[in-house]
Amino acid sequence: MAELPRILIVDDSRVVRMSLMQHLKGQYEVREEGDGEAAWQTLILDHSIRAVISDLQMPKLNGYELLDRMRTSKLKRLQQLPFILVSGEETEEERAKAKTLGVSDFVTKGAGCTEVSTRLKNLLVLSDAQEHIDAGREKMVQDPVSGLFSRKYLELQSAQAMSHATRHGVDVSVMVLGFDGYEGMVEQLGVQVAEEVGNRFAKMLTGKIRQEDSLGHFGAGQFAIVSPGTAPAFCVTFAERVREAVEVARLTVHGRTVALTVSIGLASAPTDLVTSAGALLDMAGERMFVAMRAGGNRTESGGVTPASRPISIHHALELVAANRLSPVIPHLPSLAERLLPLMKLMNLELGLSLPLAEIERLLSERKSQKN
């Protein structure tokens, strides 16, 4: 026998809970909680729950507050879980507030158990249909919204590139790029704005890659590029150009300026000893997460650490122009040392009185402290 869908009933009245449970018996497997806080803990732990039927007025956490926690949760399953709110006295204000918070349906207690059961059944049918759509979308060659390749298709492209590389003795490189602090961006700006930022970033990447390269989704706020015939060193160079371009970009979305950085992971065959295209993508993805855990805004290639290389004067000026000062400050001594000959020429030609000797002394002291 197929397992019955599991439903969570939340009501501080034991009588109401028992009445609903008796009516839904045989159609659903029912869990029950007496307040919103206990229901929240259950929802976090029990991934099998398919829908929630909740009272509005409850202790500790009322129906509105429970709904709000679910819809603003980082967990996608809670954001989309069908939620029926039951109120003793339905008013337009209550209905409007529930709709704003993302309720799936709103019924009065006087509607009866049969009405709740019918609406629950309809919501689960819609939920199943959406799950099928999402599953089909994952299998598509291209995402219908962004136009990018799916991760499954990228694995196919990687497999073909690896096969070609083995036959012809050339390299194939994979790059996985992810926004640092993407979950925080979603919480601050909302899902739609975060996706728009991602789409703009993808368009920028599309303009920089070769025709034979493949760009697609890797995860939420993450992208992957499969680059056949590209040696690791050239891939690292390209990755750093992308990273630096994002670091100095001034992106305005809905009137708000968004500061972004990306972490990038690289993997190449035959340099990295992998046996499949999926393993090559996973290795690049894991290296991206290593870069994120190390502080973000860097590239990790498994043997090269370009993020620690000296910053260029040109890139430092771009960062200062973008009011991104913190990445420049650690490099000030090396920048000053490279600029010293120019400062001496300015001092001579313009008749200035720059404290060059003091600057040289401080630079020398800083070097000796590091050593």
For 201-211, the pLDDT digits (tens) are 888 888 888 87
Is pLDDT of 73 > 90? no
* Topology (CATH) of 141-309: Alpha-Beta Plaits (3.30.70)
φ, ψ (nearest 5 deg) of residue 230: -105, 125
Give the count of beta carbons closer than 10 Å to the beta carbon of residue 296. 16
DSSP letters of 83-132? EEEEESS--HHHHHHHHHHT-SEEEEGGG-HHHHHHHHHHHHHHHHHHHH
Is pLDDT of 244 > 80? yes
**Which string of b and e fits 140-156 if b means at least 16 CB within 10 Å?**
eeebeebebbbbebbbe
pLDDT given at position 173 = 92
- Residue ranges, comma separated, of all CATH 3.30.70.270 domains in the chain are 141-309
Indicate left, alpha or beta for 89 from its phi (over 0: left) and psi (-120 to 50: alpha): beta
Is pLDDT of 134 > 70? no
For 193-242, the pLDDT digits (tens) are 888 888 888 888 888 888 788 899 898 899 999 998 888 888 888 898 88
Rg (CA), the chain: 28
Average pLDDT of the chain is 84
- Residue ranges, comma separated, of all CATH 3.40.50.2300 domains in the chain are 6-138
Cβ(152)–Cβ(221) under 8 Å?
Answer: no
Instruction: Give CA separation, 251 vs 23, 114, 201, in Å.
Output: 54, 52, 10
Structure tokens at 137: 């979308």
CATH class held by domain 6-138: alpha beta
DSSP letters of 222-282? EEEEEEET--HHHHHHHHHHHHHHHHH--EEETTEEE---EEEEEEEETTS--SSHHHHHH
Give the integer Cα–Cα distance in Å for 44 and 52. Answer: 13
Pair type for strands 83-87 and 29-33? unpaired
pLDDT range class, residue 20, cuts 50, 70, 90: confident
Between 249 and 296, the higher pLDDT residue:
296
pLDDT given at position 308 = 41
Strands (E), 24-94: 29-33, 49-55, 83-87
Share of the chain above pLDDT 70, in %: 91
pLDDT given at position 141 = 61
